[in-house]
Amino acid sequence: MNEKIKNPSVPAGFDRVDGRLKVTGRAKYSAEYNIKGLTYCVMVGSTVTKGTLTAVETKKAENAPGVLAVLTYFNAPKVPGYQGDTPPPKGPLRLFYNDQIYFNGQPIALVVADTFERALFAASLVTATYEKSLHQTNLEANLANGFLPNNSKDNIRGQEDGYKAAPIKIEQEYILPTEVPNPMELHATTARWDADDKITIWTKTQGIKATQRNIATAFKLPPDNVHVIAPFVGGAFGSALRTWPHEIAAALAAKVVKQPVKLVLSRGDMFTSVGYRPRTWQKIGLGASADGKLVGISHEAIGQTSAYENFTEGVVGSSQLMYACPNVTTRYKIVSLNVNTPTPMRGPGEATGAYALESAMDELSYALNIDPIELRLRNYADTDPASGKPYSSKYLRDAYKLGADWIGWSARSQKPGSGTEKGCLAGYGMGAGMFGAYRSTATVTARMTADGILVLQTAVTDIGPGTGTAMATIASEIMGLPENKIKIDLGDSSLPPSPTQGGSSITSTVGSAVNDACKELKDKFSQLGGAGQADKPDYAKILKDHNLEQLEVTTTSKSNPEMSKYAGYSWSVHFIKVLVNPATGVVKVDKAVSVADCGHVVSHKTTRSQMIGGTIMGIGMALTEEVVIDHRYGRLVNNNFADYHVPVQADIPQCEALFVNKPDPYLNPMGAKGMAEIATVGVAAAVANAVYNATGKRVREMPITPDKLV
């Protein structure tokens, strides 16, 4: 490893603007608004996996101390907006809407009491009877029931399954188990009706405006009568992309008891309430000429969905795009099982697909006896293979080089099982990733106040990546202000509209609006005189000289139409060195580096932190994370953090994030592309490939637990 390879071209950047509030406990999350008259909700889940609910025994619970209500299908008032649109089994789950049980743990009752403890006790007294039917929860046992979702079809470029004609080919199957985007902060909703037709809701969400619209639709309210507040979100990874049934249930409960309610999901509830990365079976066929040129790629995937919604994700899409290859066939199906609906979890589809594709590329590199980086360089796509368009920017070659140099790739042997270190088998692996570079529409207000503080306002939530910090950084450069002169207001539906935080698009989208608003504001000051040229203008003095209380602009920024001429993607490559104990089969990641071509890095500290988080998520995918279902009962076995293993500090090695840091000329004024998803896409394959390099054992079902190696 070369310690000198840092990030010479990237400035250190601001500290997290909300870091102090977070570490001192002053940042308030959705479960922490202890408003007047607050009552407490606890959910009761179904103990069967499929069937019809015939009765819920609520009397004991209702008679328990402090209990205000027990809502079930049999007594709950109707949610007004639930009439008319698509109900289950062909639409989103609705609590207390019908008597059908679609999965184990599906909420069948909600207890409201004057304290949390009393609600929890009363919930333990609720029992139910069911007419059970035969459930299906096993993906591999149901692959034959896979169907093409939503009128989709197979995607064929060139010859169908053209890989089969190549002189060198590999064909392999891979399984990625269900993983949960289970963040530290439990999902929570605090709901208060301020009038019959007016509600304030503090809820964990990635989309403030989407939540506002969804609550308004459910309760048939004008959107302006729904106030959604979420200034801090403690991680989400896709789990808060939707307005979930429990949020509607909390609002309904508050209506019933005529008091504000708080519903905090238990850690167990989280596993069945807020989605997951779906278990997926994949098959890859790769064919190449003896000199390592890809002749064909075939990628087939079957993922699981619930019995009431067709959840799909782009598992096979990147296989059409990642490499220059004339014959590419991709097929994608889903299987309905008695499980809750998945959600787009970080790198949704891409992370699953890249695990298989990048594993298969590694297998091909051994079949050809060509270095895995060299194999990728021989098939490097200089234009988008699907559309033929030029890239808006692509510096993946630079990323390969940076990462290989950092990890010390030249020390790797192409012969598996030949490296030893500290009594362990040592090996190196790599895997690459891609994700679309997006930008949509956002509105930002930039206001200079009389005391020279710049206030930036928009509705977006910051789920952890450091959106506010990126906004402050962009504003600071334009306005010539230090970070302590910039105040960020986020996470409130009364602020100017912004899209849902997701899809690696928010720095691009909201950052552009900050850029435009600050430039306009600066122009306004220029027109007043005195602010245009100077490096650090005294805005407070200019306002005072002109007898102004404040100066503000509100600007809406939209995507650049020029982008339609280009294929816009972010790229990443991950390098992993593992040490495998030959006696125990325990895999220890020794070193990890992820390198991104994500355009210009706006905010170095938060971007690096987010990148390392993505690497760790990928290490979890490869080594420890798996939701286990006992298929006899259809019940989750490990719906807690003691048995579902996310990597902890001791699992994480020396870990670095590097950035090519060359601006994209078209996507947005900052030259930034997204990096949230690419931080995870490709990591799991890099780990599996390193394990193979170390041991000669190819594990094709994640996670690589020790039993699979000894």
Could you tell me the smallest distance in angstroms from the CB atom of residue 180 to ligand MOS? Answer: 13
CA–CA separation, 365 and 288 (whole Å): 10
Residue whose CB is less far from ligand MOS, 348 or 618: 348
Could you tell me the smallest distance in angstroms from the CB atom of residue 347 to ligand MOS? Answer: 7
- Using the contact rule CB under 6 A, the part of the chain among 171-179, 302-310, 340-348, 650-658 near ligand MOS is 340-348
Cβ(205)–Cβ(178) under 8 Å? no
Could you tell me the smallest distance in angstroms from the CB atom of residue 504 to ligand MOS? Answer: 6
CA–CA separation, 44 and 265 (whole Å): 11
Residue whose CB is less far from ligand MOS, 205 or 212: 205
Could you tell me the smallest distance in angstroms from the CB atom of residue 502 to ligand MOS? Answer: 3
Query: In terms of DSSP bridges, do strands 635-636 and 569-580 run parallel, antiparallel, or are they unpaired?
Result: unpaired
Could you tell me the smallest distance in angstroms from the CB atom of residue 677 to ligand MOS? Answer: 6
Render 405-442 in DSSP notation, one character per residue.
HHHTGGG--SSTT--EETTEEEEEEEEEEEEE-----E
Q: Which of 177, 201, 41 is nearest to 122 (CA)?
A: 41
Residue whose CB is less far from ligand MOS, 419 or 568: 568
Residue 24 has a CB neighbour count (10 Å cut-off) of 8
Could you tell me the smallest distance in angstroms from the CB atom of residue 566 to ligand MOS? Answer: 22
Q: For the chain, what percentages of helix, strand and coil (3-state, to nearest 5) are there?
A: 30, 25, 45
- Using the contact rule CB under 6 A, the part of the chain among 71-79, 80-88, 91-99, 343-351 near ligand MOS is 343-351
Residue whose CB is less far from ligand MOS, 466 or 502: 502
How many residues line the site for ligand MOS (CB under 6 A)? 11
Q: Does 466 bind ligand MOS (CB under 6 A)?
A: no
Q: Does 425 bind ligand MOS (CB under 6 A)?
A: no
CA–CA separation, 297 and 283 (whole Å): 11
Residue whose CB is less far from ligand MOS, 180 or 241: 241
Could you tell me the smallest distance in angstroms from the CB atom of residue 307 to ligand MOS? Answer: 23
Render 50-94 in DSSP notation, one character per residue.
SEEEEEEE-HHHHHSTTEEEEEETTTPPPPGGGSSS--TTSS---
Q: Does 206 bind ligand MOS (CB under 6 A)?
A: yes
Residue whose CB is less far from ligand MOS, 237 or 311: 237
Q: Does 345 bind ligand MOS (CB under 6 A)?
A: yes
Residue whose CB is less far from ligand MOS, 317 or 344: 344
The phi and psi torsions of 79 (rounded to 5 degrees) equal: -80, 120
Cis (ω within 30 of 0) for the bond into 703?
yes
Query: Of 131, 247, 677, 701, which one is the catalytic site residue?
Result: 677
Residue from 277, 346, 439, 635 that binds ligand MOS (CB under 6 A)? 346
Cβ(240)–Cβ(31) under 8 Å? no
DSSP E strand stretches across 481-605: 486-489, 550-557, 569-580, 587-597
Residue whose CB is less far from ligand MOS, 426 or 621: 621
- Using the contact rule CB under 6 A, the part of the chain among 255-263, 341-349, 580-588, 589-597 near ligand MOS is 341-349
Is 309 a catalytic site residue?
Answer: no
Query: Three-state SS for 263?
Result: strand
Q: Does 314 bind ligand MOS (CB under 6 A)?
A: no
The phi and psi torsions of 202 (rounded to 5 degrees) equal: -100, 110
Binding mask 230-249 for ligand MOS (x = CB under 6 A): -------xx--x--------
- Work out the angle at residue 444's Cα, subtended by the Cα atoms of residues 441 and 447, and round it to the nearest 5 degrees: 165
Could you tell me the smallest distance in angstroms from the CB atom of residue 65 to ligand MOS? Answer: 41
CA–CA separation, 508 and 653 (whole Å): 31
Q: Does 618 bind ligand MOS (CB under 6 A)?
A: no
Q: Does 503 bind ligand MOS (CB under 6 A)?
A: yes
Name residue 55's beta-bridge partners.
129
Residue from 348, 431, 614, 682 that binds ligand MOS (CB under 6 A)? 348
DSSP H or E segment with residue 202: strand 198-203
- Using the contact rule CB under 6 A, the part of the chain among 155-163, 256-264, 283-291, 338-346 near ligand MOS is 338-346
**Contact positions with ligand MOS (CB under 6 A) in 672-691:** 676
Residue from 183, 207, 344, 613 that binds ligand MOS (CB under 6 A)? 344
Residue whose CB is less far from ligand MOS, 317 or 503: 503
Could you tell me the smallest distance in angstroms from the CB atom of residue 345 to ligand MOS? Answer: 6
Helices (H) and strands (E) in the chain, counts: 14, 26
Query: Three-state SS for 256?
Result: helix
* Cα dihedral across residues 251, 257, 259, 260: positive or negative: negative
Which of the residues are catalytic?
677
Q: Which residues bind ligand MOS (CB under 6 A)?
A: 206, 237-238, 241, 344-346, 348, 502-503, 676
